[in-house]
Chains A and B, each alone.
Chain A
Amino acid sequence: MSAAETVHTIIDDLGALLLFTMILIVIASQISRAIYAVAAQSLFIAIAGGVLAMFTGNVDLWVIAGVTLAVKAIMLPWVLHWVVRRMNVRREVEPVIPDAATIVLAVAVVVMSFDLSTSLGTVRQAITGNALPVGIALTVLGVLVMATRKTALTQMVGLFASENGIFFTAMAVTQGMPLIIEIGVSLDVILAALVMTILVLRVRSTVDADIADLDRLRG
C-alpha cells in the first residue's frame, strides 16, 4: 500500500469515528455525555491533522493539530463541564421535536451528504478519502443539534460539533490552510465559547430562564 493510500484509509477511518461521535451527540440524553462525545470528536480531528501533517510534511498542520487538541479537545469541554457544574444541571437536553424525528432527520442528512458528494465526481477525486461527505454531514448535523434543542448548553455543543465539521473538511480539502487563518478560527471559537458561557450564566442568574424562554422583545 502506498503512503497516499494509507493516509486515505486512515482519514476514512477517522471520518467514520467522527460520524460515530456525531451520532452520539445527536442522540445523547445527558449533556455531559454530549460534551464527552464532542471532546472525543475534537481529539479525532487533532489526530487527523497529525496524520496529514506527517504525510504532507506541512509544519503548519502540526501547529494546527496541537492547537485543536489544546483548545477544542481539552479547554472547551472543560469550560462546558464547568458551566454544567455551575448551573447544577444534569439532563439539560430538552429536544424541541421528538427524539425519533431528530434521528430520522439525522439519517436523512447522512445519506444526503454522501449522495451529494458522489454527484460532485471529479471534485471528490482530489479530496482525501471520504472527508467531504463526512465533513458535510458533521456540519449539518451540528446545525440540526442546534436547531432541535431548547437549551443553550446543548446548542453550544452543536455549534462546536458543526465547527469541527467545517474544520475537518477544510483540513482534508486543502491539506492545510494558512496558519494565520486557522489560528484566527481557533480564537473565534474560544471567544464564542466565552461569550456564550457568560451569556448563559447571566441569563440564568438574572431571570432564571433559558434561551428558549427569551422569545419576546420588550421595549
Chain B
Amino acid sequence: MTGGRPLGLVLLEMTLLVLLGPLVTGTIQKLKARLQCRQGAGVLQPYRDLAKLLRKSTVQADTASGFFRSIPVLVLAATIAAGALVPVVRAGPPAFPLGDALMLLGLLALARFLAAVGALDAGGAFGGMGASREMTVAPLVEPVLMMVVFSTAAAAGTTELGTLAAHRGTSWILAWRAADLLGFAAMLVLLPAETGRIPVDNPDTHLELTMLHEGMLLEHSGPGLGCMVLASHTRQIVTLGFVAALFFPVGLADGASAIGLLLGAGAFAAKVLALATYLGLVESSYGKLRFFRLPQYLAIGFVCALAALALRIL
C-alpha cells in the first residue's frame, strides 16, 4: 500500500456519502412499495422532501431553550464527520491523522445523544418518550458493534477502517474465516437497529408508540427537521459503508488511477445496494418487535459477536 488517501479524496468521499444518502432511503422505500404491490414514490422522493423542508420556516416550542435551535446542525455535523472515516472508493489509511472505526461509532453515538438531548429540551411528551427509548436501545447496540470491530481488528492489528479494508484485500470471500462469518451474522442482526428500521424501529411512522427515532424529530420543523432527516439518511449510508468496509472491501482501488477510483465507486454502489436490499426485505417480511422483546433480539447479535471474538482470540 503506497501512500494514503489525500485530504481531497476524503472530502470527496464524504460529500458523495451525504449526497447519496437520501437515494438509499428512496431505494429502500421503493423496494418496500413494490413488495407491497404498490407503485410507490420515486427513488428521488427523499430529495424532494428535503428541498421542501429547507424552504419552510421554523416553528419552535415555547419551552425550548436556545440550544434547541443548534441541535439539528450539530447532529448533522457529527454524522457527516463520521462519514469522513468510511473508505468509499479507495482502501488504505488516510494521509493525515483522522480517526478509526471507534471514532466513527463514537461520532454516531454523539449524534444520537445530541438528538436525544434536543428531544428532551423541547419538552414534548413524545420527544421524551422517543429519547428514552432510543437511549435504552443504544447501549445494547453500540458495545456489540465495537465487539464486531474488535473481532475483525484483532486479525489486522488496527482499527483504522481504510487499513482494515486494505488488510482484508480483494480476495475477501476466500480470506473469510469463521470469526468473520459470525461477526457478519452479528452485523446483519444489528443493522436494522443501527439504521432505525423494523424490527427495532419503524421509520415510516411517528404516530404510534412504536417510534424511537421519529419520536425525537417531532418537535423539529422546517430547515431544522430537514437537517435531522438528512442526518438520518447519512447515518444509514455511513453504517452501510462501514459494514461494507469491514466485511467486503472488494473493488476498493489500490492506487490513485481514475479507472480504479471509478471501479471502487461502482463496487461501493453495488455493495450498498445489496445491503439496502437486505434492509428492505427484512423490513417487508418482519413485524416490529415489542419494545421489551428487543433485548432478546439484540442478544443474538451480542452472542454472535462474542463467539466471533472467542474464535479470533482463543
A residues lining the B interface (CB < 8 Å): 1, 9, 12-13, 15-17, 19-20, 23-24, 26-27, 29, 99-100, 103, 106-107, 110-111, 114-115, 117-118, 129-130, 133
Contact = CB atoms under 8 A, between A and B. Distances in A.
Contacts of B181: 13, 16-17, 20
B198 interface: no
Given A27-B296, A114-B311, A13 B303 contact: no
Give the interface centre of A17, A24, A27, A110 by most chain B CB atoms within 10 Å.
Answer: A110
Interface string B292-314: 01011001101110111011001
B314 A114 contact: yes
24 contacts: A12-B311, A16-B179, A16-B182, A16-B308, A16-B311, A20-B185, A23-B300, A23-B303, A23-B304, A27-B296, A29-B296, A100-B295, A100-B299, A103-B296, A103-B299, A106-B303, A107-B302, A110-B303, A110-B306, A111-B306, A114-B310, A118-B314, A130-B178, A133-B314
B52 interface: no
B182 A20 contact: yes
8 smallest A-B Cβ distances: which pairs?
A16-B178, A12-B178, A114-B314, A16-B181, A114-B310, A103-B299, A16-B182, A23-B303
A110 B307 CA distance: 7
A20 to B, nearest CB: 5
Interface in B139-188: 174, 176-179, 181-182, 185
Q: Chain B at the A interface: mostly helix, strand, loop or mixed?
A: helix
A132 B185 CA distance: 21
Interface of B: 174, 176-179, 181-182, 185, 293, 295-296, 299-300, 302-304, 306-308, 310-311, 314
B314 A12 contact: no
B25 to A, nearest CB: 29
Contacts of B179: 16
Contacts of A133: 314
A19 B296 contact: no
Given A107-B306, A114-B311, 10 more contacts: A1-B174, A16-B178, A16-B179, A29-B293, A29-B296, A100-B295, A103-B296, A110-B307, A114-B314, A133-B314
B176 to A, nearest CB: 7
Contacts of A1: 174
Nearest to B179: A16
A26 B302 CA distance: 13
A219 B296 CA distance: 43
B182 A27 contact: no
A46 B310 CA distance: 25
A131 B308 CA distance: 14
B311 A99 contact: no
Contacts of B308: 16
Contacts of A15: 178
B176 A107 contact: no
Nearest to B310: A114
Contacts of A118: 314
A9 B307 contact: no
Nearest to A106: B303
A118 B310 CA distance: 11
Nearest to A104: B299
A130 B308 CA distance: 12
A29 B293 CA distance: 10
A169 to B, nearest CB: 16
